[in-house]
């Protein structure tokens, strides 16, 4: 089972190899098998990618926005035509079940490219009437964007960053996670096939050092990162040295508040999706599930019943809904948190062990895990686990739920379940989170801005809001009369 690309990098419209770069291996998490061996980019390779982007930028920025949109829409069509091939590649790289990748990865990336392709003709300035004179504004690109992806949704994240950047006329140098390096190379090939000029979208592989060199490069105008809070802090500090524009989509420990009057089945479904989809490896997951005391025991009983039905197995089997974690280090981290939850007195309702899956003895599988009687000071209630571990906390009343939900450094997402829509809107208005849901969870249509408050990030991805983060406004005053001066 191999997925070896033609080369490790994609620079100036062609595959590019860096034979002296550090070895980088992609492993299939279900078996541990190495499916591709690549080389990390040296500083010289990053410099070459940025130089190619600068040259490509001059051509792309001068391309009419409508034509930019056509290229993005053609790329979206190609992504959809090759969805199965790309989904299988994403499953090999991430371990996520094919049942998920067929609908949530390349397909959602195509939606993003199509959406921003459709916005291209609307990227206009404004005319400002000043009486005898007037002013106008121009929306202009920033230049070269350095984009750094995460390993949980590789091609989706690449599209979420590339689409708004490209439609605004920027060029991009994208660094995928070293854990999941493959699908970004396919995206680069597809964008070229769709008509994107050489140098406008480049891919460089590597570890933290590669990302740091990209962030500090003087010819990079903006950095967009999806990653952890510690990484985000380092990126922001480095970018500040040259006052680069920055978008940071970071971690979370998001609350999902379920009131007594909520529909039980829907609330359980949302809690499952908010904790176990993609084996819990989603930044916006609602991992602190606050359940009002009157519903708590019924909720836990039904949750345990339904969680027992999770199908864990071969990720390439479309009937399987629960796959392995992405890497051994991630599995070790998750299991350490499970042990900490037990040690600190949380009640283990189900799961809690590494799973043995027939035919996959080396697979990185963890049982979907639910802790009850969790209290706010516990480690599992405060720190992001990024695995299939749900913490259920109980509460008495609305004010208590809001205060405890907000008592965190994070603010990426939040959800509320209630039949009382007035209460739903009232509670959401008081939650300190950038992306919220009422009576559902984790739906992220590209039309809706996505991002966090507090330590969960800066800026927004998706929706019209992202345009502001990948462009700048130039104001022009036009004098129609004479110019007076004091002398």
Distance between CA atoms of residues 398 and 437, nearest Å:
17
**Taking CA 277 as the corner, what is the angle to CA 382 and CA 325, rounded to the nearest 5 degrees?**
75
β-pair type (133-141, 471-478): antiparallel
Residues with catalytic roles? 161, 249, 283, 461
DSSP structure class, residue 42: P
Nearest by Cα to 309 from 344, 250, 255, 268? 268
Q: What is the DSSP string of 319-377?
A: T--B---S-HHHHHHHHHHHHHHHHTT-EEEE--SBPPBTTBTT---B--EEEES--TT
- Helices and strands (H and E) in the chain: how many: 16, 20
Instruction: Give the separation between CA 213 and CA 208, rounded to whole angstroms.
Output: 9
Q: Which two tokens stand for residue 179?
A: 């854990």
CB neighbour class for 387 (10 Å; exposed up to 12, middle 13-18, buried from 19): buried
Sequential DSSP letters for 401-439: HHHHHH-SS--SEEEEE-S-HHHHHHHHHHS--SEEEES
Contact between 280 and 389 under an 8 Å Cβ cutoff? The reply is yes
For the chain, the 3-state helix, strand and coil shares in percent, each to the nearest 5, are 40, 20, 40
Residues found in the chain? 487
Q: Given the DSSP bridges, would you call strands 245-249 and 222-226 parallel, antiparallel or unpaired? A: parallel
Helix (H) or strand (E) holding 34: strand 34-39
Give 276-312 as a DSSP string. HGGGG--TT---EEEEEHHHHHHHHHHHHHHHTT--B
Sequence-distant (6+) residues with CB within 8 A of 207 are 22, 24, 40, 178
| CA-derived radius of gyration, the chain | 24
Q: Collect all residues with Cβ–Cβ distance below 8 Å to 145 and sequence separation of at least 6.
A: 161, 165, 170, 171, 172, 173, 220, 221, 222, 223, 224, 470
Structure tokens at 175: 């660094």
Question: Residue 106: which of 206, 186, 20, 6 has the closest Cα?
Answer: 186
Residue in 201, 209, 142, 206 with CA at minimum distance from that of residue 180? 206
């Amino acid at each position: 089972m191999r997925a070896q690309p033609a080369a490790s990098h994609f620079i100036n419209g062609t595959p590019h190899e860096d034979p002296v770069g550090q070895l980088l291996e992609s492993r299939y998490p279900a078996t541990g098998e190495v499916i591709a061996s690549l080389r990390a980019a040296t500083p010289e390779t990053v410099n070459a990618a940025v130089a190619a982007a600068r040259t490509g930028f001059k051509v792309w920025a001068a391309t009419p926005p409508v034509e930019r949109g056509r290229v993005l829409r053609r790329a979206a069509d190609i992504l959809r035509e090759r969805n199965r091939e790309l989904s299988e590649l994403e499953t090999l790289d991430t371990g996520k079940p094919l049942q998920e990748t067929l609908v949530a990865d390349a397909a959602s990336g195509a939606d993003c490219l199509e959406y921003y392709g459709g916005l291209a003709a609307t990227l206009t300035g404004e005319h400002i009437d000043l009486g005898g004179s007037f002013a106008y504004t121009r929306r202009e690109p920033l230049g070269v964007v350095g984009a750094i992806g995460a390993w949980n949704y590789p091609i989706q994240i690449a599209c979420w960053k590339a689409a708004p950047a490209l439609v605004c006329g920027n060029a991009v140098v994208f660094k995928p996670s070293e854990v999941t390096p493959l699908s970004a190379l396919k995206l680069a090939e597809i964008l070229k096939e769709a008509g994107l000029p050489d140098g406008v979208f480049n891919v460089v592989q590597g570890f933290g050092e590669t990302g740091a060199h990209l962030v500090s490069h003087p010819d990079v105008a903006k950095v967009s990162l999806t990653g952890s809070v510690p990484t985000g802090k380092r990126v922001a500090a480095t970018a500040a040295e040259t006052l680069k524009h920055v978008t940071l989509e970071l971690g979370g420990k998001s609350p999902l508040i379920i009131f007594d009057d909520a529909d039980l089945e829907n609330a359980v479904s949302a809690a499952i999706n908010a904790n176990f989809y993609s084996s819990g490896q989603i930044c916006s997951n609602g991992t602190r599930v606050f359940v009002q005391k009157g519903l708590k025991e019924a909720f836990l009983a039904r949750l345990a019943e339904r969680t027992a039905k999770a199908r864990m197995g071969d990720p390439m089997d479309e009937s399987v809904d629960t796959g392995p974690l992405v890497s051994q280090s991630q599995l070790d981290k998750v299991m350490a948190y499970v042990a900490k939850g037990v040690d600190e007195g949380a009640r283990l309702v189900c799961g809690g062990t590494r799973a043995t899956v027939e035919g996959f003895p080396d697979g990185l599988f963890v049982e979907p895990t639910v802790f009850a009687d969790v209290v706010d000071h516990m480690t599992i209630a405060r720190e992001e686990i990024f695995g299939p571990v749900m913490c259920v906390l109980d509460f008495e009343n609305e004010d208590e739920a809001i205060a405890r939900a907000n008592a965190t450094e994070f603010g990426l997402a939040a959800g509320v379940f209630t039949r009382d829509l007035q209460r739903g809107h009232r509670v959401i208005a008081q939650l300190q989170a950038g992306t919220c849901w009422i009576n559902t969870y984790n739906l992220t249509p590209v039309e809706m801005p996505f991002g966090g408050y507090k330590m969960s990030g800066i800026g927004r991805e998706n929706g019209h809001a992202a345009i502001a983060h990948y462009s700048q406004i130039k104001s022009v005053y036009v004098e129609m009369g004479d110019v007076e001066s004091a002398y």
